[in-house]
C-alpha cells in the first residue's frame, strides 16, 4: 500500500511538470505577423502584471491558482490579450492538473501551435492566432473522444458569460449531422451566424477512434459527420436543419453526388428527444409537401460518440479553395447557401 502511495505521489509530480510548467527561455523563437500587434510597452500598459507575464513572456501561473480553474458557468473563453474566442464551456473538463483544461478549440484556426523544447522535452505550445499571446500547451492524453488536453493559463483567458440575465439558461447547443463529404458541410456552417464551432469527424460506426482511411476503405459503419456547436440565441436547431436540407441531397441512399458509400449517408445524430422530434417533424413535412421528387432517406440515429477527424480535414475548404474538388463540389453549395440565407451570414470581423 505504501509503495502504491509513493508511486502515486511521484506520478503526480511528474504529471504537473509535464503539464503546463513553463520556462521563459524558449529554444525556438519565430516572430510571425499577427493581425493584432502592439509594442511591448503597449501590452504592458493594457494587461495586468500577471497577464503580461503569461501572454507576452510565456510564463506559467502556479497550478491551482488561476481564477478560471473551477469555473463551470456557460460562456465563451477568449484571449485576454485580444478577445479572440478560443473555447466554450462545453469544451472544458476537469483534468486535475491545476490549470483550466479543454478537449478542443473553437474551429477556424484561432489557435496556432509551436514546438517547445524547453524543460528538455518536446511539448506543443499553443498561442492565440490573432495576437500571438502564449496560452499554454496541448497534450495528447485527454480523456474525452478528442484525445486532447488543452492546458491553458487562466491569466491568458477572459471569460464571457453566455447569458447575463440567467446563468442557468443553456444557450449553447450541439448537433451532429452527416450530409456527405464533411468538407462541404463544414464549409457552409462556418458561415452561418450563431455557429460557434464546426468540426469534421466520424460517428455511428463500430470501431473507436477511426481513421479517414478506415472510414473510406473499411466497413466501419461510420459516417462522415460534422459537430456543430451553436448559440441558440443567434440561430436555432430549426435553422441548422433548414440549411442541412438545402445544401445536400437527402433523397439519395448512401451517396451524395459522386461520393458513394455508407460513409456519405444522410444522417442526423440526435442527442435528445427534442432534437429527434424536430428532425422527424421537418422530414415528415418535406415528404408531405413533396419538396423533393423522391422521399427523404435521412437516417435519425441516437448519438453515441463523435470522433474528431484528423487535423488536415478541419477547415479543409478554407485552406484548399483552389483544389478541384472544392471548386466543383463545395463552391456551388456555398453559393447556394449564401443566396438562400443571405441575411444570416456571419459578418466579417
Active site residues: 181
Cβ 35 to Zn ion shortest distance, Å: 9
With respect to Zn ion, which residue has the nearer C-beta, 105 or 186?
105
Closest CA to 178 of 288, 303, 287: 303
Cβ 78 to Zn ion shortest distance, Å: 8
The cell for 297 is 432517406
Residues 109-138 that bind Zn ion (CB under 5 A): 128, 130-131, 133
How many angstroms separate the CA atoms of 348 and 199, rounded? 20
Alpha carbon separation from 267 to 178, 200, 203, 246, 281 (Å, rounded): 5, 14, 10, 14, 15
Residue 204 and residue 269 in contact, taking contact as beta carbons nearer than 8 Å: yes
With respect to Zn ion, which residue has the nearer C-beta, 69 or 82?
82
Cβ 80 to Zn ion shortest distance, Å: 8
Residue carrying C-alpha cell 466579417: 348
How many angstroms separate the CA atoms of 315 and 176, rounded? 16
Residue 122: how many other CB atoms lie within 10 Å: 9
Pairing verdict, β 123-128 and 111-116? antiparallel
CA dihedral 42, 43, 47, 51 (to 10 degrees): -170
Instruction: Tell me, rounded to whole angstroms, the distance of Cα 313 from its chain centroid.
Output: 12
Tell me the CB-side half-sphere exposure of residue 251, using CA atoms within 13 A: 9
Residues 55-94 that bind Zn ion (CB under 5 A): 79, 81-82, 84
- What 8-state DSSP symbol labels residue 143? S
Cβ 79 to Zn ion shortest distance, Å: 3
With respect to Zn ion, which residue has the nearer C-beta, 81 or 136?
81
Cβ 81 to Zn ion shortest distance, Å: 4
The cell for 234 is 443567434
With respect to Zn ion, which residue has the nearer C-beta, 125 or 186?
125
With respect to Zn ion, which residue has the nearer C-beta, 81 or 210?
81
Residues 183-242 that bind Zn ion (CB under 5 A): none
Residues in binding contact with Zn ion, number by CB under 5 A: 8
In the complex, the residues that contact Zn ion under the rule CB under 5 A are 79, 81-82, 84, 128, 130-131, 133
Amino acid at each position: 500500500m505504501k509503495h502504491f502511495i509513493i508511486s502515486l505521489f511521484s506520478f503526480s509530480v511528474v504529471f504537473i511538470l509535464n503539464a503546463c510548467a513553463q520556462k521563459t527561455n524558449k529554444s525556438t523563437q519565430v516572430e510571425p505577423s499577427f493581425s493584432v500587434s502592439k509594442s511591448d510597452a503597449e501590452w504592458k500598459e493594457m494587461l495586468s502584471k500577471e497577464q503580461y507575464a503569461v501572454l507576452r513572456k510565456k510564463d506559467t501561473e502556479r497550478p491551482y491558482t488561476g481564477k478560471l480553474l473551477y469555473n463551470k458557468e456557460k460562456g465563451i473563453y477568449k484571449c485576454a490579450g485580444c478577445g479572440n474566442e478560443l473555447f466554450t464551456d462545453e469544451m472544458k473538463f476537469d483534468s486535475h492538473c491545476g490549470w483550466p483544461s479543454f478537449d478542443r478549440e473553437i474551429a477556424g484556426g484561432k489557435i496556432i501551435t509551436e514546438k517547445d523544447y524547453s524543460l528538455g522535452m518536446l511539448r506543443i505550445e499553443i498561442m492565440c492566432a490573432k495576437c500571438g499571446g502564449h496560452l499554454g500547451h496541448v497534450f495528447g492524453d485527454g480523456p474525452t473522444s478528442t484525445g486532447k488536453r488543452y492546458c491553458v493559463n487562466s491569466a491568458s483567458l477572459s471569460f464571457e458569460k453566455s447569458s447575463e440575465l440567467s446563468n442557468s439558461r443553456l444557450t449553447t447547443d450541439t448537433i451532429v449531422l452527416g450530409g456527405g463529404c464533411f468538407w462541404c458541410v463544414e464549409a457552409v456552417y462556418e458561415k452561418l451566424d450563431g455557429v460557434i464551432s464546426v468540426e469534421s469527424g466520424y460517428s455511428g460506426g463500430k470501431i473507436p477512434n477511426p481513421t479517414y482511411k478506415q472510414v473510406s476503405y473499411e466497413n466501419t459503419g461510420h459516417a462522415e459527420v460534422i459537430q456543430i456547436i451553436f448559440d441558440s440565441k443567434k440561430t436555432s436547431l430549426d435553422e441548422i436543419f433548414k440549411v442541412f436540407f438545402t445544401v445536400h441531397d437527402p433523397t439519395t441512399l448512401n451517396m451524395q453526388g459522386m461520393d458513394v458509400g455508407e460513409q456519405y449517408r444522410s444522417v442526423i445524430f440526435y442527442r435528445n428527444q427534442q432534437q429527434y422530434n424536430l428532425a422527424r417533424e421537418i422530414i415528415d413535412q418535406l415528404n408531405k409537401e413533396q419538396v423533393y421528387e423522391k422521399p427523404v432517406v435521412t437516417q435519425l440515429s441516437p448519438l453515441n460518440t463523435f470522433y474528431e477527424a484528423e487535423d488536415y480535414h478541419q477547415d479543409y475548404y478554407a485552406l484548399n479553395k483552389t483544389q478541384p474538388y472544392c471548386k466543383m463540389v463545395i463552391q456551388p453549395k456555398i453559393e447556394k447557401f449564401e443566396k438562400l440565407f443571405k441575411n444570416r451570414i456571419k459578418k466579417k470581423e
